[in-house]
Amino acid sequence: MLPAGVFPAAFAATVLIFFTASFSGCIDVPTKEARLECLELSSYPFPNIPECSTTERCFSEAETAFRLNLLPFSHEVASELFSAKGHVASSWLFMNRAKETLQDIRSECNSGSFAKIPQMANELRANLLSVAKETDLFSEKASKSILVEVAVLEGQDINLVRNQPLFDDFILLNQNIIDFSRGNSSSETYAAVSLREEKKLNGIAEKLGMGKVIPEKSVFSLLAENDSRIAKLSGLKEKDFPISLLLPVFSGASQMLDSFIGISDSVGLLKRVPPSEVFEAVSGIIGKESSAAGEFFAMFRNDSGHRLGLAESNREEAKRARTLLASLGERAKDVSEKSGGAGRFSAAGIPRDFIRRFNENASRIEAGLRSAEEADFLKSSTPGKVSWEIFRQGLEADSLAGEVAVAEEKLASASGSCAVELESAKAAISSKGFSSSGPVAAALREKLSLSIERFEKTGEFRHCEDSLETFSELSSAIESGAPEEFASKRISDCFSKCSGLLAFDSSGEATARLGGMMRIERPYNDPLLLLDSCRGLISVLEQSAKSGHSVARANSLFSEASQKTGFAKYILENFECLASGKKAEKIIGDFASASEKFEGGLLKLDGVSPESAAETSKLLEGILFGMDDALPLLAREAFECKASVSEAALPGFKGKCIRIALQNNGLSLPLQFSANLPIPSQGASTAFSTGNVSFVQTPDANKTEFNFSSLAAGINSIIICFPDEGDAADANAPGANSPVIAGDGNSLRLQDSNGSNGSIGGFGSFPDENAFGRMQAAAAIISGKDSIIRGAAVLEQDRNALVSYGLDIEMLALSGKLEQAGKALNTLREKAKEMEARKADADSVKAGAAAALGAANELSTVSAALSQKTTLIERNFSELTKGELDSIYPFLPISQARLKELRGIADDAEKHSGLAEKISAFLDSGRFADVSKLAEKEGLAAIVASAKAANEEAGKALEAMESSAASSYAAADAIQKNTGAGKADSEAGLLNAKLALERKSYLKSILASNAVQESIGSGMAALPRNEIPPAVYFLIVAIVGAGIYIYRKTGKGEKGKGEGLVAERPVRGISNESWMPQG
Instruction: Give the DSSP per-residue string, 950-962.
Output: HHHHHHHHHHHHH
Tell me the residue ranges of DSSP E strands in 229-353.
242-245
Q: What is the mean pLDDT of residues 520-545?
A: 88
Distance (Å) of CA 176 to CA 183, 946, 1003: 10, 74, 91
To 5 degrees, how large is the angle CA 99–CA 104–CA 106? 95
Per-residue pLDDT, 348: 62
pLDDT bucket at 172, cuts 50 / 70 / 90? very high
For the cut 80, the answer to whether the pLDDT of residue 227 exceeds it is: no
Q: What is the mean pLDDT of residues 607-629?
A: 93
Measured CA to CA, the distance from residue 61 to residue 825 in angstroms comes to: 35
Measured CA to CA, the distance from residue 98 to residue 923 in angstroms comes to: 76
Per-residue pLDDT, 559: 92
Measured CA to CA, the distance from residue 144 to residue 22 in angstroms comes to: 42
Identify whether the C-beta of residue 497 lies closer than 8 Å to the C-beta of residue 608. Answer: no
Measured CA to CA, the distance from residue 1002 to residue 891 in angstroms comes to: 12
Contacts for 333 with CB less than 8 Å, ≥ 6 apart? 355
Of 347, 297, 270, the closest CA to residue 42 belongs to: 270
> When comparing pLDDT for 668 and 35, which is higher?
668
Q: What is the mean pLDDT of residues 821-838?
A: 88
For the cut 70, the answer to whether the pLDDT of residue 698 exceeds it is: yes
pLDDT bucket at 1074, cuts 50 / 70 / 90? very low
Q: What is the mean pLDDT of residues 584-605?
A: 92
For the cut 60, the answer to whether the pLDDT of residue 398 exceeds it is: yes
Measured CA to CA, the distance from residue 182 to residue 257 in angstroms comes to: 35
Of 391, 371, 380, 320, the closest CA to residue 161 belongs to: 391
DSSP result, 96-124? HHHHHHHHHHHHHHHHT--TTHHHHHHHH
DSSP result, 584-639? HHHHHHHHHHHHTTEETTEE--TT--HHHHHHHHHHHHHHHHHHHHHHHHHHHHHH
Q: What is the mean pLDDT of residues 527-533?
A: 91
Q: What is the dihedral of CA 764, 770, 773, 775, to 10 degrees?
A: -50
pLDDT tens for each residue of 107-129: 877 776 667 777 777 787 788 78
pLDDT tens for each residue of 146-160: 989 999 999 999 999
Antiparallel, parallel or unpaired: β 242-245 and 3-4: parallel
Measured CA to CA, the distance from residue 129 to residue 115 in angstroms comes to: 23
Identify whether the C-beta of residue 670 lies closer than 8 Å to the C-beta of residue 736. Answer: no
> When comparing pLDDT for 517 and 984, which is higher?
517
Per-residue pLDDT, 807: 93
Identify whether the C-beta of residue 351 lies closer than 8 Å to the C-beta of residue 345. Answer: yes
pLDDT bucket at 237, cuts 50 / 70 / 90? low
Of 129, 125, 49, 127, the closest CA to residue 88 belongs to: 49
Highest mean pLDDT among 624-638, 662-676, 1050-1064: 624-638
Residue 907 burial (CB count, 10 A): 13
pTM assigned to the model: 0.71
Per-residue pLDDT, 272: 55
What residue type is assigned to position 430 of the chain? S
Average pLDDT, the chain: 79
> When comparing pLDDT for 800 and 263, which is higher?
800
> When comparing pLDDT for 528 and 129, which is higher?
528
Identify whether the C-beta of residue 19 lies closer than 8 Å to the C-beta of residue 27. Answer: no
Enter the DSSP assignment of 711: B
Lowest mean pLDDT: which of 268-277, 411-420, 464-473, 540-549? 268-277
For the cut 70, the answer to whether the pLDDT of residue 5 exceeds it is: no
Per-residue pLDDT, 37: 65
Strand partners of residue 677: 704
Per-residue pLDDT, 773: 82
Query: What are the residue boundaries of the structural domains of the chain, listed by start?
Result: 3-290, 311-412
Q: What is the mean pLDDT of residues 451-467?
A: 86
Residue 391 burial (CB count, 10 A): 20
pLDDT tens for each residue of 577-586: 888 899 999 9
Measured CA to CA, the distance from residue 520 to residue 945 in angstroms comes to: 39
To 5 degrees, how large is the angle CA 105–CA 111–CA 115? 60
What residue type is assigned to position 686 of the chain? T
Lowest mean pLDDT: which of 119-123, 367-371, 1018-1022? 1018-1022
Distance (Å) of CA 893 to CA 509, 546, 691, 803, 884: 12, 19, 55, 66, 15
In the chain, the N- to C-terminal Cα span, in Å, equals 114
pLDDT bucket at 209, cuts 50 / 70 / 90? low
Per-residue pLDDT, 817: 86
Enter the DSSP assignment of 666: S
Tell me the residue ranges of DSSP E strands in 908-1041.
none
Q: How many whole angstroms from its chain centre is CA 475?
A: 49
Identify whether the C-beta of residue 48 lies closer than 8 Å to the C-beta of residue 91. Answer: no
Please, what sign has the CA dihedral across residues 494, 495, 501, 507? positive
Q: What is the mean pLDDT of residues 646-656?
A: 79
Identify whether the C-beta of residue 986 lies closer than 8 Å to the C-beta of residue 1016. Answer: yes
Q: What is the mean pLDDT of residues 299-323?
A: 93
For the cut 50, the answer to whether the pLDDT of residue 4 exceeds it is: no
Per-residue pLDDT, 507: 82
Residue 621 φ/ψ, nearest 5 degrees: -60, -40
Exposure pattern of 6-26 as b/e (b: 16+ CB <10 Å)?
bbbbbbbbbbbbbbbbbbeee
pLDDT bucket at 743, cuts 50 / 70 / 90? very low
Lowest mean pLDDT: which of 54-68, 162-176, 352-366, 716-730? 716-730
pLDDT tens for each residue of 430-449: 777 777 778 888 888 889 88
Write out the H or E segment, with its range, that includes residue 708: strand 704-708
Q: What is the mean pLDDT of residues 1032-1050?
A: 43
Per-residue pLDDT, 244: 52
Identify whether the C-beta of residue 4 lies closer than 8 Å to the C-beta of residue 136. Answer: yes
Measured CA to CA, the distance from residue 207 to residue 193 in angstroms comes to: 22
For the cut 50, the answer to whether the pLDDT of residue 1064 exceeds it is: no
Per-residue pLDDT, 231: 46
* % of the chain exceeding 70 in pLDDT: 77
Per-residue pLDDT, 87: 93
pLDDT tens for each residue of 891-916: 899 888 889 999 999 999 999 988 99
> When comparing pLDDT for 980 and 606, which is higher?
606
